[in-house]
Amino acid sequence: MPARDPGAVPDTTRRGFFDELERLHLDVVHLGALALEAIHRGSDALVRFDLAGADETVHRDAELDQLSDAIEERIYVLFATQQPVAADLRAMVTMLRVVHELERIGDYMVNIAKATRRLQPEPLDPRVLGILDRMHQQAAAQLAVAVDAFSARDPAKMPDLSHMDDVMDDLTRDLFRTIFAADRSGDDAIARAVQLALVGRYFERIADHAVNVGERVDYMVTGNFHEHTSPAP
Task: Quick: pLDDT tens for 41-69.
Answer: 999 999 999 999 999 999 999 999 999 99
Q: Where residue 188 falls among pLDDT bands split at 50, 70, 90?
A: confident
Q: Residue 114: inside a domain, yes or no?
A: yes
Domain enclosing residue 161, as ranges? 12-222
Global pTM value = 0.88
CATH value at residue 46: 1.20.58.220
What 8-state DSSP symbol labels residue 182? S
What 8-state DSSP symbol labels residue 18? H
8 Å CB contact between 128 and 178:
yes
Helices (H), 4-50: 12-48
The count of structural domains within the chain is 1
Q: Residue 142: inside a domain, yes or no?
A: yes
Calculate mean pLDDT across residues 113-123: 89
Q: Which helix (H) or strand (E) holds 8?
A: none
Q: Where residue 8 falls among pLDDT bands split at 50, 70, 90?
A: low
Residue 227's pLDDT is: 62
